[in-house]
Amino acid sequence: MKERVPVKGVSFPLPTLNATRRLARLLSAHLAGNEVVLLSGELGAGKTTFTRFLAEALGIDPSWVSSPSFTLVQRYPPGKRGLAITHVDLYRLPEGSDLEPLGLHEILASPDLVVVEWPASAEQFWAESQRPLIRVAFTGIGRQRSASVEGLAMSQSKS
Ligand SMILES: Nc1ncnc2c1ncn2[C@@H]1O[C@H](COP(=O)(O)OP(=O)(O)OP(=O)(O)O)[C@@H](O)[C@H]1O
Ligand SMILES: [Mg+2]
C-alpha cells in the first residue's frame, strides 16, 4: 500500500543546470499543487533558476520567470498541468515593512502553487498557512552546489 510521506532533509547535488532541472522535475512529479515551496540560499544560489525549471516542468513558459525588480510578486498562468505559479521574491522588501499590501493572505488562499525566494521576512505567514510547506535550501558554489529538500510528500510503500 502506498502512502504520502513527508521527506526530511534529503540532499541533492546540483553540479550542473541539468541537475537542477532534474530536481525540479522530480519535485513537480510529487506536487499536489497546494504547497508553498520556500527557496532559501544566498545571492546567486540558484533559486530563480530552480523556479524556472519548475515552471518548465509544469508546462509553463520558463521565459516568463525572472527575478522580480519592482514587483515582488509575479503570477504565471496555468500550464499543461493546469497549475499556475505565484512567484514571490522578498529580497527587495525593505526590512520591517508592512507585509499586508503584498496580499499574501489572498495568494495563500488562491489555487496557485506558491514559490517564494527569500521567504524569511514573512516566515509567520508560511508557518500559519494551512498549506504544506516544502523547504528547498540551496548551498555551495560551482560544482559543489547542492539543495536540501524538506517536507515534500512522496509516495512510499507501507511496510
Ligand atoms: N545547478 C547549477 N549549476 C550551474 N549554474 C547554476 C546552477 N543553478 C544556478 N546556476 C547559475 O547561477 C546564477 C544565479 O542563479 P539564480 O539567479 O537562480 O540565483 P538566485 O538564488 O535566484 O539569486 P538571487 O538571490 O539573486 O535571487 C545563474 O547564472 C544560474 O544560471
Ligand atoms: Mg532569484
The rounded Å distance from CA 1 to ligand 2 centre is: 39
Residues that place a CB less than 5 A from ion ligand 2: 47-48, 67, 117
The rounded Å distance from CA 117 to ligand 2 centre is: 6
Give the up-direction half-sphere exposure of residue 154: CA atoms within 13 A in the CB hemisphere: 14
pLDDT score of 9: 87
pLDDT score of 152: 75
Q: Can you list the alpha helix ranges (DSSP code H) found in the chain?
A: 17-30, 47-57, 104-109, 123-128
| Inside any domain, residue 126 | yes
86 lines ligand 1 (CB under 6 A): no
User: Using one digit for the tens of pLDDT, what is the confidence trace for 68-109?
Assistant: 666 799 999 999 999 999 999 999 998 888 888 899 999 999
CA dihedral 127, 67, 85, 137 (to 10 degrees): -40
Q: What is the CATH number of the domain that holds 116?
A: 3.40.50.300
114 or 7, higher pLDDT: 114
Three cell numbers at 89? 521574491
Q: How many domains does the chain have?
A: 1
User: Using one digit for the tens of pLDDT, what is the confidence trace for 101-152?
Assistant: 899 999 999 999 999 999 999 999 999 999 999 999 999 999 999 999 999 7
pLDDT score of 155: 62
| Inside any domain, residue 98 | no
| Inside any domain, residue 157 | no
| Residue 138 burial class via C-beta count within 10 angstroms: exposed 0-12, middle 13-18, buried 19 and up | buried
Domain that holds residue 33: 2-93+106-146
Closest ligand 1 atom, residue 18 Cα = 1
| Inside any domain, residue 73 | yes
Residue carrying C-alpha cell 546567486: 44
For the entire predicted model, the pTM comes to: 0.93
| Inside any domain, residue 87 | yes
Three cell numbers at 113? 502553487
